[in-house]
Structure 1
Amino acid sequence: MVFIFVIAGFIYGGLQVKQWLEDEQQLPVQKIIFSGARTVLDDQQMEALIRQNQKGSFFALDVNEVYELLEDMPWVYRASVRKRWPNSLHIYVVEQEPVAIWNDDLLLNTQGDIFDGGDPKQKLPLLFGPGGSEKTALAGFNAMQSLLSTTGLTINELFLSERFAWRVELSNGIRLNIGRQQFIARLQNFIDIFPLLQAQNKAINYIDLRYDIGLAVGWQKNDKKEQEITENND
């Protein structure tokens, strides 16, 4: 009988200790410390979200749940969460780095992943394409932009069709119809001949590069287009 009372006492004492440890008033999380480069994410907003969903003590706080809360935020790319005795929570966040606007309503990060980050603070190129082609479109954009870096031109808009044909609009307003095949070689052809076209002292509307030899130029003149074509379209 005495043994039973002893066991019951241990159980009761253990429950009391557990309740004390989980009591926020006894052992609260006093400090939530954020680190990592942040330009959009707001520390106060993240802390409020954590405290609203994790109201227990330091011991009761679930770091996995905090991790999931943070990674559900659109602008959080990665997060790590650690408790530090006796009363602090340390969080390292990697913020999304947007590089383009995708189909007018989502953002693309450097990995080609889409996220709903609202209106970006900085001006970004516009990329358009069928669903699931985000990584292909971004890879094409990066390759073409790298090639154009020697010209001082940038890509304002890029279009990838259902048949994976490329069209771009450059920062000087010229539209390039590149097509599906050998898009890097065709863009290099444009770069090689562009100084000669500039020497014509005419405003260019578009250039069609989908030719085995040569290209087609649409000139702007009195709101009408004049077109010069060499060879056959492939």
Structure 2
Amino acid sequence: MYKQNQKPSDESARRSRGASRGNEKKQARYIPWRRLLVLTTVCALAGSLLWFWPALMKWVNQPIARVEVRSTFNYLERGDVEKQLAPWLENRFFYLDLEEMRRVVLEMPWVREASLRREWPNTLVVRLEERKPIARWQDDGLIDVDGEVFRPGLLDVFSKLPKLAGPEDRSQDVMQQYLAFSQVIRPLGVAVRELRLSTTDSWWLKVDHVDVNLGRDRRMERLQRFIRLYHSRLDDRWQDVRRVDLRYLNGASVAWKQL
């Protein structure tokens, strides 16, 4: 019985090995043409891209051929702005350092704010906000409504602006005080022509042609005292007044022009 059972088992094994060798031959003959085609196409595209990349980048990344400077140009000169930007315009479109260019433009005295952007293929757009001078500062500068001091050079055309003075780091305080004083005395029909803050925090102003000394403390209270004095004693003889000193506790002294 044992030998009879052994023969069929050997025969089955031979058949199994034969079938396995047949499958191996079929697998060996199978070639993944679709994968090969995709891989070949990808390699061809990659090679073409590498070949044409320098020419493509040269076409996309063009030199700057046009600069548009947009501003009100009340005080700025377009040519001065372009001159400041000229060293950076040698770079191509995508190589422009916009942050550095903005920093350089903001160093121009008349520029309050600036923004720069690219317009493909070859344009740089520059938007500028000019400073608006409110007064002269010291003898060599101007000050804007934000209290920022700037020095544009020639100041002859601004000789009629009021003059402010004080420590440089207190310029915003001086500007704010000037605006407050001006608003208070404007109904009198007179104007603040000069305002000065001393190093001891004492305030002095020139109202029209008259020197007005407010001192250090309670300056708005003392200015109200000046207004009352103007209405009661000074209005009719305003042209004869030379100086008003309000540093007293409850009064004021008036110096008159000599006739």
Distance (Å, rounded) in 2 between the aligned partners of 1:16 and 1:42: 38
Q: Identity across aligned pairs (percent)?
A: 28
Give the 5 Å matches for 1:129-148: 129-148=166-185
Measure, in 1, the Cα distance between the counterparts of 2:129 and 2:240: 45
Aligned length: 216
1:71 aligned onto 2:106: yes
The question of 1:94 aligning with 2:149 is answered no
TM-score, with length taken from structure 1 = 0.81
| Greater displacement, 80-89 / 193-202 | 193-202
Partner Cα separation in structure 1 for residue 125 and residue 257 of structure 2:
60
Distance 1:165 1:56, change over 3 A: same
Residue 226 of structure 2 corresponds to residue 185 of structure 1: no
CA 60–101 in structure 1, closer or farther in 2 if over 3 Å, else same? same
Contact 1:21 1:60 in 2 (8 A): no
SS for the counterpart of 2:116 is: strand
Q: Residues 115-153 of structure 1: CA distance to partner in whole angstroms, max 9, x if unpaired? A: 121234332211111231111111111110110110121
1:38 corresponds in structure 2 to 73
C-alpha deviations, 1:87-140, integer Å up to 9, x for none? 222111111111122221122111111112123433221111123111111111
- CA drift of 1:18 comes to 4.3
Amino acid in the other structure paired with 1:206: R
Q: Is the 8 A contact 2:68 2:125 kept in 1?
A: yes
CA contact (8 A) 2:88 2:97 kept: no
* Greater fraction of residues in strand: 1
Change (3 A) 1:202 1:12: closer
Q: Which residue of 2 aligns with 1:111?
A: 146
Runs of 4+ aligned structure 1 residues displaced above 6 Å come to 6-10
Normalization by structure 2: what TM-score? 0.74
Of 76-85 and 194-203, the range deviating more from structure 2? 194-203
Change (3 A) 1:191 1:57: same
**CA separation in 1, counterparts of 2:239 and 2:108?**
49
| Aligned pair partner of 1:28 in 63, 67, 82 | 63
Aligned pair in 2 of structure 1 residues 89, 202: CA closer, same or farther (>3 Å)? closer
SS at match of 1:54: helix
Give distance in 2, aligned partners of 1:213 and 1:74: 45
Q: Is structure 2 residue 94 aligned with structure 1 residue 59?
A: yes
* Residue 160 (str. 1) matches residue 197 (str. 2): yes
Deviation at 1:11, TM superposition (A): 5.8
Aligned partner of residue 92 in structure 1, secondary structure: strand
How far 1:218 sits from its partner (Å)? 0.6
RMSD, aligned CA: 2.7
Distance (Å, rounded) in 2 between the aligned partners of 1:111 and 1:215: 33
Say whether the 8 Å CA contact 2:142–2:149 is kept in structure 1: yes
Name the residue aligned to 1:210: 247
